[in-house]
């Protein structure tokens, strides 16, 4: 993994420069031993009030790590003429920033100036998965917070319309493998998508077909009823799998049934290797969970910040 972080391309393009060995599962054992219990408690409380919180936190962490490494830059507010990541088009629907704020507030009271916002977000994403019925894992800690957050850089995030070549290239640029790509896509087991992210599959698919032929006709018809061609309902859309609030392997089963939501989900069936992984994870939740944990640790080890922010939304 150290070699991954040393990749020149990653360093130049994404400021992912800190060595993985700087992270440690016991990083705060002496300076803030109550860290994990505080974060878990805050996430639990938020989940009890809003069932969409786990998907939001997992997506927030993913979007953070894919731009400049896991440095909490996704949390920063826009200021003056600088439009921050959170206001870039792919992040407009990201929410639940208050969960990280609440955890940070409690931690600043218990161990001031010690825990980075980036580590809080990494832990919250892990808790979001575990508290939704998924696996848990030891999160390596010691990330630092970044000072740069640019909405224009959200173009670097993988899009829901990507084909397999674009997805592989996007992940490879961050040192992530094809297995990481398929395993991390399983995060779509939690969450909801607005119509705009899959409109391309159910209306005017190409010059001759209105609907993506890889989509099961009855499923496409259901989506078309919710998302008509000139949809005016702002919050219209679809859950990403059949068990929206449970972290399981239903996402992969649905891909094999022609019931995936995004083009990028369907793209996982377009190469023998990725299709084999989809089948493997559809047949074994245990295999999926093991791969997901390994890939999450790998992704969240891409670090880029240099300081501890006292307020997760503001650089001082």
Structure confidence at residue 234 (pLDDT): 84
Q: Mind listing the pLDDT tens digit for each residue in 81-115? A: 999 999 999 999 999 999 999 999 999 999 999 99
Domain co-membership, 190 together with 256: yes
From CA 174, how far away is CA 153, in angstroms rounded?
Answer: 14
End-to-end Cα spacing for the chain: 32
- Does the pLDDT at position 21 exceed 70? no
Mean pLDDT in residue range 29-34: 98
Structure confidence at residue 265 (pLDDT): 98
Cβ neighbours of 305 (radius 10 Å): 24
Structure confidence at residue 3 (pLDDT): 37
Q: Mind listing the pLDDT tens digit for each residue in 180-194? A: 999 999 999 999 999
Structure confidence at residue 232 (pLDDT): 85
The CATH number for 243's domain is 1.10.420.10
Domain count, the chain: 2
Name the band, by pLDDT with cuts 50, 70 and 90, for residue 9: very low
Domain co-membership, 180 together with 295: yes
Q: Is 143 helix (H, G, I), strand (E, B) or coil?
A: coil
Name the band, by pLDDT with cuts 50, 70 and 90, for residue 17: very low
Q: Is 113 left (phi over 0), alpha (psi -120 to 50) or beta?
A: left
Residue 101 to residues 29, 54, 76, 104, Cα–Cα distance (Å): 22, 15, 11, 5
Name the band, by pLDDT with cuts 50, 70 and 90, for residue 316: confident
Domain co-membership, 111 together with 202: no
Mean pLDDT in residue range 28-55: 98
Mean pLDDT in residue range 201-211: 95
Q: Is 243 left (phi over 0), alpha (psi -120 to 50) or beta?
A: beta
Tell me the binding residues for Ca(2+): 64, 69, 71, 73, 85, 189, 241, 244, 248
Structure confidence at residue 79 (pLDDT): 94
Cβ neighbours of 197 (radius 10 Å): 22
Pairing state between β 237-239 and 192-194? antiparallel
Of 115-124, 235-244, 270-279, the poorest mean pLDDT is in 235-244
Domain co-membership, 144 together with 52: yes
- Does the pLDDT at position 4 exceed 70? no
- Does the pLDDT at position 69 exceed 80? yes
The residue segments making up the domain with residue 180 are 164-299
- Does the pLDDT at position 284 exceed 60? yes
Mean pLDDT in residue range 134-153: 97
Contacting residues for 169 by C-beta, under 8 A, at least 6 apart? none
Residue 44 to residues 6, 151, 175, Cα–Cα distance (Å): 36, 30, 32
Indicate the burial class of 206 (C-beta count within 10 angstroms; 0-12, 13-18, 19 or more). Answer: exposed
Domain co-membership, 168 together with 151: no
- Does the pLDDT at position 60 exceed 50? yes
Domain co-membership, 121 together with 178: no
Tell me the binding residues for heme b: 188
What is the pTM assigned to this prediction? 0.92
Which residue pairs from 288-294 have beta carbons closer than 8 angstroms and sit at least 24 positions apart in sequence? 288/183, 288/186, 288/249, 288/252, 289/134, 289/135, 290/135, 291/179, 291/182, 291/183, 292/129, 292/134, 292/135, 292/183, 292/184, 292/186, 292/187, 293/135, 293/137, 294/183
Tell me whether residue 306 is in a domain. Answer: no
The whole-chain average pLDDT of the chain stands at: 93
Domain co-membership, 104 together with 177: no
From CA 127, how far away is CA 46, in angstroms rounded?
Answer: 12
Domain co-membership, 74 together with 135: yes
Domain co-membership, 171 together with 274: yes
Q: Is 237 left (phi over 0), alpha (psi -120 to 50) or beta?
A: left
Cα 223–chain centre separation: 24
63 is catalytic: yes
pLDDT above 90: percentage of residues in the chain: 90
Structure confidence at residue 153 (pLDDT): 98
- Does the pLDDT at position 10 exceed 90? no
Asked if 171 and 180 touch (Cβ cutoff 8 Å), the reply is yes
The CATH number for 148's domain is 1.10.520.10
Tell me the binding residues for substrate: 158
Catalytic residue among 30, 63, 203, 230: 63
């Amino acid at each position: 993994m150290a070699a991954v972080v040393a990749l020149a391309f990653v360093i130049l393009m994404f400021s992912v420069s800190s060595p993985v060995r700087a992270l440690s599962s016991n990083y705060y054992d002496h300076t803030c031993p109550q860290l994990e219990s505080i974060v878990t408690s805050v996430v639990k409380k938020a989940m009890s009030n809003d069932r969409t919180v786990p998907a939001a936190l997992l997506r927030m962490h993913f979007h953070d790590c894919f731009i400049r490494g896991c440095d909490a830059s996704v949390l920063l507010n826009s200021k003056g003429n600088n439009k921050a990541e959170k206001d870039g088009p792919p992040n407009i629907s990201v929410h639940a920033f208050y969960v990280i704020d609440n955890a940070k507030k409690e931690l600043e009271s218990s161990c001031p100036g010690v825990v980075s916002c980036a580590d809080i977000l990494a832990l919250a994403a892990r808790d979001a998965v575990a508290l939704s019925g998924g696996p848990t894992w030891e999160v390596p800690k010691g990330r630092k917070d970044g000072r740069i957050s640019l909405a224009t850089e959200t173009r670097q995030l993988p899009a829901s319309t990507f084909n397999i070549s674009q997805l592989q290239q996007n992940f490879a640029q961050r040192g992530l493998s094809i297995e990481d790509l398929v395993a991390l896509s399983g995060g779509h087991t939690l969450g909801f998508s607005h119509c705009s992210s899959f409109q391309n599959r159910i209306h005017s698919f190409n010059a001759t077909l209105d609907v993506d032929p890889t989509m099961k006709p009855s499923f496409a018809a259901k989506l078309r009823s919710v998302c008509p061609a000139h949809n005016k309902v702002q919050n219209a859309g679809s859950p990403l799998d059949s068990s929206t609030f449970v972290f399981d392997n239903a996402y992969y089963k649905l891909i094999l049934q022609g019931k995936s939501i995004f083009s990028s989900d369907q793209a996982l069936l377009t190469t023998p290797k990725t299709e084999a992984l989809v089948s493997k994870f559809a047949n074994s939740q245990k295999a999926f969970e093991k791969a997901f944990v390994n890939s999450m640790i790998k992704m969240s080890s891409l670090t880029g910040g240099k300081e501890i922010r006292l307020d997760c939304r503001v650089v001082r």
